[in-house]
Amino acid sequence: MPARRYPLPPDLTVPFTVPEGLAAGLTRDRLRGRDLLASSRAIRVPLAGEPTLVEYCRPYVELLPGAVVSHATAARIHGFPLPARVEADSTVHLSRTPSDAVPRRRNISGHRLTLTASEMVSVAGIQVTSVARTWMDLAGLLSVDELVVAGDHIVSEYRRSFGPPRNAIVPLAELTAYIESKRWLPNVRRSRTALGLVRVGVDSPPESWLRLILHHAGLPEFVPNFPIRGGNGRRVVWVDLACSRFRTCLEYDGGHHLTPEQQSSDHLRDLATAEAGWVQVKIGRDDLRRGKQFVVDKVRRGLVLGGWRPDASTT
């Protein structure tokens, strides 16, 4: 016979442990109610709620003393841009010190890490690996390019003549010093390779992917968030990516560029770019869907108009 269903106490509307439920007055029968999911041993998740990732992780940390949320789960908590396969993974990554047992239970991926106090932060009451440590540990799960996209997000900062400023989550110099301080750790070499491709100032993951496509194609380097100046030396427009040597700039047009207001602003930007003597190439989502070579060929045409010669000895 199914357990009688009655409302949960207000403190138990998010994932909780069985001991917490018993302490709050729930019976064993109530803990088997159909409105509760047993996500793992001694953990219950109310089906009516939509817990945050931190709320979902908290009971696992409570039941595993010394555990720290790490790897892909920590990256999701910190808001890293991640591949779809990682975002969709509901496994909770937890780490303990090498002297403790590896966390083993349903929905858990256990790791052993030696962490300093500075490599852990408290997020809504649970311990999570720091942003820099999380990025380094992701090297075992992501490709170099995927690491670069996450790294661009972490170090991005700018002050522009429009919009609010953006501060780095971890400044590039700080992230570099941290990674360079590490020795003999798994995948640290991949982290260093990715760090060499990370750039400050990127606005969005598509811009990172676009820059990497051009880099791997051997085209001249484009730098993010570049101010184009007019004949009087004043900044006239900021562009997403720019190759100043060949006065060629790229604009990634996402969905927000389809509104009438944004299109009007874009037309003024395009005119100012042309008046400053720059070649502008617009890249949209449809271009990316057509494939890397289509994008490379389109940008190559803009570079040639700007004076670049593909057969030149230097690019």
pLDDT at 160: 83
Out of 18-22, 261-265, 282-286, 303-307, pick the least confident.
261-265
pLDDT at 225: 93
Q: Give the integer Cα–Cα distance in Å for 81 and 154.
A: 9
Query: For residue range 44-92, what is the model confidence (pLDDT) as tens digits?
Result: 999 988 999 999 999 999 999 899 999 999 999 999 999 999 999 889 9
pLDDT at 155: 98
pLDDT at 16: 95
pLDDT at 250: 96
DSSP letter at 204? S
Tokens of 70: 């790490």
Mention every residue, 6+ apart, whose C-beta is less than 8 A from residue 235: 161, 227, 228, 229
Average pLDDT over residues 13-35: 93
pLDDT at 267: 83
Residue 3 has pLDDT above 50, yes or no: no
Average pLDDT over the chain, rounded to whole? 90
Average pLDDT over residues 246-270: 76
Residue 315 has pLDDT above 60, yes or no: no
Backbone angles phi, psi at 111, to 5 degrees: -140, 160
Q: Give the integer Cα–Cα distance in Å for 111 and 294.
A: 42
Query: For residue range 259-279, what is the model confidence (pLDDT) as tens digits?
Result: 666 666 678 888 888 888 999
Check if the beta carbon of residue 15 is closer than 8 Å to that of residue 44.
yes
Average pLDDT over residues 159-179: 92
Check if the beta carbon of residue 185 is closer than 8 Å to that of residue 235.
no
- Sign of the CA dihedral with 13 first, then 15, 16, and 18 last: positive
Check if the beta carbon of residue 17 is closer than 8 Å to that of residue 59.
yes
DSSP lists the bridge partners of residue 282 as 251
b/e code 203-232 from CB counts within 10 Å (16+ = b):
bbbbbbbbbbbbbeeebbebebbbebeeee
Check if the beta carbon of residue 228 is closer than 8 Å to that of residue 273.
yes
Helix (H), strand (E) at residue 40: strand 36-40
Helix (H), strand (E) at residue 108: strand 108-112
pLDDT at 312: 58
All structural domains of the chain with their residue ranges: 10-51, 58-195, 205-305
Please provide the DSSP assignment of 124-186 as one string: TTEEEE-HHHHHHHGGGTS-HHHHHHHHHHHH--B--SSS--B--SS-HHHHHHHHHT--S-T
pLDDT at 268: 81
List the strands of the sheet with 223-229, edge to edge: 223-229, 235-243, 248-253, 279-284
Residue 232 has pLDDT above 90, yes or no: no
The pLDDT > 70 percentage for the chain reads: 92
Q: Give the integer Cα–Cα distance in Å for 262 and 4.
A: 56
Check if the beta carbon of residue 177 is closer than 8 Å to that of residue 122.
no
pLDDT at 313: 44
Check if the beta carbon of residue 136 is closer than 8 Å to that of residue 180.
no
Check if the beta carbon of residue 94 is closer than 8 Å to that of residue 112.
no
Query: For residue range 275-292, what is the model confidence (pLDDT) as tens digits?
Result: 889 999 999 989 999 999
